Amino acid sequence: MSAILDHLPEFWQGLIVTLQLTAASFLGAAVMGLVITAMRVSPVGVLRGIGTAYVETFQNLPLLVLLVLAVFGLPEIGIKADLLVTAIVVIALYEAAYIAEALRSGVNAVSAGQGEAARALGLTFGQSLRHVILPQALRTVIQPLGNIFIALTMNTSLAAAIGVVDLTAAANRVNLMEAQPIPIFVGAGLAYALIAAGAGFVTGRLERRLVVVR
Amino acid sequence: MVSMKRMAAVAAVSMIGLSACSGTDSGSPAVPGEAKGGDLLAKAPVAAAADILPGSTMEKIKQRGELIVGGSLDAPLLSQQNPTTGEVEGFDADMGKALAKYIIGEPKVKIVNSASETREALLSNGTVDVVFQTYTITPERAEQVAFAGPYYSSGLTLAVRKGTAGIAKPEDLNGKTVIAGANTPAIPAIKKIAPQAKIVTFGSDPECMQALKQERGDAYVQDETLLVANAKKDPSVQVVGSPFTTDPYGIGLKHGDDQFKKFVNDWLKKIQADGLWQQTWKNSIGTVVQGEAPTPPQIGSVPGS
């Protein structure tokens, strides 16, 4: 236990980085995911194709591979960014594929009549998506989005492998000195569990408030 | 102390001389890598039946017919898997095989790729019998695991891109970005000697080298042996100065198993005395570090061992 208490500042610093990673990459993934979803349900074939290719690509590559490629591969072609920034961008791009799939299932859940009615009112594709379809779609996928957020939180720990000193890396470093893996990693695990529980609580509340009863 | 060391060194050197003379079968350099390892293990001693005490860890391992070693697969010269043969080669790997032969009679080893963060847990829950993984003996770690040895003494030094100015000694790292292996003793060592340095860590040695070359840091702090081997392979990187720490490597064992610890220590003394230790060094680390094999550290000479 003292192994954790003696190193609270390191753990705290790591937790902040983990929260930064989580918040920033989820925000990025949400925006990107929305764009991909719009492409996938759009009437333009080329856009649908790009959207599908994006989702298939990112869902079929392990995140760690993408991270290592971005950190060690991109500098070879002259692109080198800060490690934290690289991690945020890569995690956002990766998770966007999952968010897009969740959103698309939400869009599919909105009855076709809604879209037809919107078109009949003279709304453009963008307008009907923005004002009619997506608001309803979003409400049905709150729980899946919450799950993606939790998975994303856990996935941020992979950033430790590319030199970002997040909660996982901080735990590793403390353990290196104290050699007490059980309390240290249980402690770090609890911190992740708390973030996940918080996300679960928020999505539960949101869902009860916003759910569309059909 | 100094004269003791010198005497031991002289003894060690003469041992090598002797073993070189007596080793009549070692004069076939046609297939260097494999033949050397095979030769080495052929000469490795086997414990007397009386040393395998009934009910002991040694007996358990012997009955199993395999020594389970916690180790690495990506540490050049120490414990690296050869992609063509699948064999794990290097100083630590050979030591593990020699210990297996001592217990079982055959060098049968299974290497569990243990990461620095799991070594203590793997030992205490019995997943591995021993850890050979540049495992630096520290008093904190000795509260969790037992250490036989030290069996090798190493030290950290720094590497920079060729032509880097202004980094000549570890103190120069202050204010610089320094690359280190995640979970290596380099991290606390850098913090101590250059508190203003910014430390970036990567999981493996190849990644750290790549990061150094891609200018993610100004220097890379790592075990001298690894760095020298790297610099030999890659002329764009150079090693600076001499080691600024002393890292005594121990053989990690389950905490409290004094019987097994004594057994392993006795084996270490034996292979140091008969020149096998020195030959193992020559075959691995000695292929990049100049000169004769160093004097092996004295068993039990550091706190925690």
Contacts of A160 in chain B (CB under 8 A): 182
Examine the pLDDT at B8 and tell me if it is beyond 80.
no
Helix (H) or strand (E) holding B249: strand B247-254
Question: Would you state the pLDDT for residue B278?
Answer: 93
Helix then strand then coil, % of chain A, to nearest 5:
85, 0, 15
A180:B184 CB<8 A = no
Contacts of B116 in chain A (CB under 8 A): 172, 176
pLDDT digits (tens, 9 = 90+) for B186-199: 988 999 999 999 99
**Cβ pair B170, B283 in contact under 8 A:** no
In sequence order, the 6+-apart residues with CB closer than 8 A to the CB of B148 are B250, B251, B253, B261, B264, B265, B268, B299, B305
CA distance B10 to B295: 9
pLDDT confidence bin for B77, thresholds 50/70/90: confident
Contacts of B141 in chain A (CB under 8 A): 179
Among chain A residues, CA nearest to B202? A163
Our CA-based measurement puts residue A178 at a distance from the nearest CA of chain B, in whole angstroms, of 6
Contacts of B145 in chain A (CB under 8 A): 179
**Cβ pair B175, B152 in contact under 8 A:** no
Question: Would you state the pLDDT for residue B162?
Answer: 92
pLDDT confidence bin for B30, thresholds 50/70/90: very low
CA distance B131 to B251: 6
Nearest to B299 by CA among B269, B271, B260: B269
**Cβ pair B246, B153 in contact under 8 A:** yes
Examine the pLDDT at A36 and tell me if it is beyond 90.
yes
Question: Would you state the pLDDT for residue A177?
Answer: 80
Contacts of A172 in chain B (CB under 8 A): 116-117, 182-183
Examine the pLDDT at B25 and tell me if it is beyond 80.
no
Q: Beginning with the edge strand found earlier in the chain, give each strand of the sheet holding B156-161 in spatial order.
A: B198-202, B177-181, B219-223, B156-161, B237-240
Lowest-confidence pick of A97-111, B89-103, B288-302: B288-302
pLDDT confidence bin for B38, thresholds 50/70/90: low
B211:A161 CB<8 A = no
Question: Would you state the pLDDT for residue B19?
Answer: 41
Of B25 and B128, the structure prediction assigns the larger pLDDT to B128
Over residues A128-155, mean pLDDT: 92
Of B24 and B294, the structure prediction assigns the larger pLDDT to B294
| Chain A touched by B190 (CB under 8 Å) | no
Our CA-based measurement puts residue A158 at a distance from the nearest CA of chain B, in whole angstroms, of 11
Question: Would you state the pLDDT for residue A44?
Answer: 92
CA distance B237 to B213: 8
pLDDT confidence bin for B179, thresholds 50/70/90: very high
A176:B116 CB<8 A = yes
**Strand-strand pairing, B74-75 and B88-89:** unpaired
pLDDT confidence bin for A173, thresholds 50/70/90: confident
Nearest to B73 by CA among B59, B57, B86: B86
Q: Beginning with the edge strand found earlier in the chain, give each strand of the sheet holding B67-71 in spatial order.
A: B109-113, B67-71, B130-131, B247-254, B145-154
pTM above 0.95, yes or no: no
Over residues B210-221, mean pLDDT: 94
Over residues A74-92, mean pLDDT: 93
Sort B227 into a burial class: Cβ within 10 Å, 0-12 / 13-18 / 19+.
buried
**Cβ pair A37, A144 in contact under 8 A:** no
With tokens 């019998």, the residue in question is B129
pLDDT digits (tens, 9 = 90+) for B114-129: 877 788 889 999 999 9
Percent share of chain B, pLDDT over 90: 49
Cα separation values, B288 from A35, A184, B117, B228, B229, Å = 55, 38, 29, 7, 6
Backbone angles phi, psi at B90, to 5 degrees: 130, 180
Question: Would you state the pLDDT for residue A1?
Answer: 64
pLDDT confidence bin for B206, thresholds 50/70/90: confident
Examine the pLDDT at B285 and tell me if it is beyond 70.
yes
In sequence order, the 6+-apart residues with CB closer than 8 A to the CB of B62 are B52, B103, B104, B105
Our CA-based measurement puts residue B202 at a distance from the nearest CA of chain A, in whole angstroms, of 5
A176:B145 CB<8 A = no
Over residues B173-198, mean pLDDT: 90
The encoded tokens of residue B169 equal 């000694």
Among chain A residues, CA nearest to B180? A163
Nearest to A76 by CA among B74, B220, B211, B160: B211
CA distance B169 to B22: 43
Question: Would you state the pLDDT for residue B110?
Answer: 93
How far, in whole angstroms, is CA A20 from its chain's centroid? Answer: 12
Contacts of B214 in chain A (CB under 8 A): 72, 75-76, 80
Between vectors from CA B247 to CA B245 and to CA B252, what angle results, nearest 5°?
A: 165
Contacts of A173 in chain B (CB under 8 A): 182-183, 187, 201
Question: Would you state the pLDDT for residue B65?
Answer: 94
Question: Would you state the pLDDT for residue B31?
Answer: 40
CA distance B205 to B202: 8
pLDDT confidence bin for A55, thresholds 50/70/90: very high
Question: Would you state the pLDDT for residue B2?
Answer: 43
Question: Would you state the pLDDT for residue B10?
Answer: 46
Over residues B152-156, mean pLDDT: 90
Our CA-based measurement puts residue B158 at a distance from the nearest CA of chain A, in whole angstroms, of 19
Over residues B250-259, mean pLDDT: 93
Question: Would you state the pLDDT for residue A212?
Answer: 65
b/e B250-281 (16+ beta carbons within 10 angstroms → b): bbbbbbebeebbebbbebbeebbebbbbbbbb
Question: Would you state the pLDDT for residue B41?
Answer: 85
Our CA-based measurement puts residue A196 at a distance from the nearest CA of chain B, in whole angstroms, of 24
Complex ipTM value: 0.76
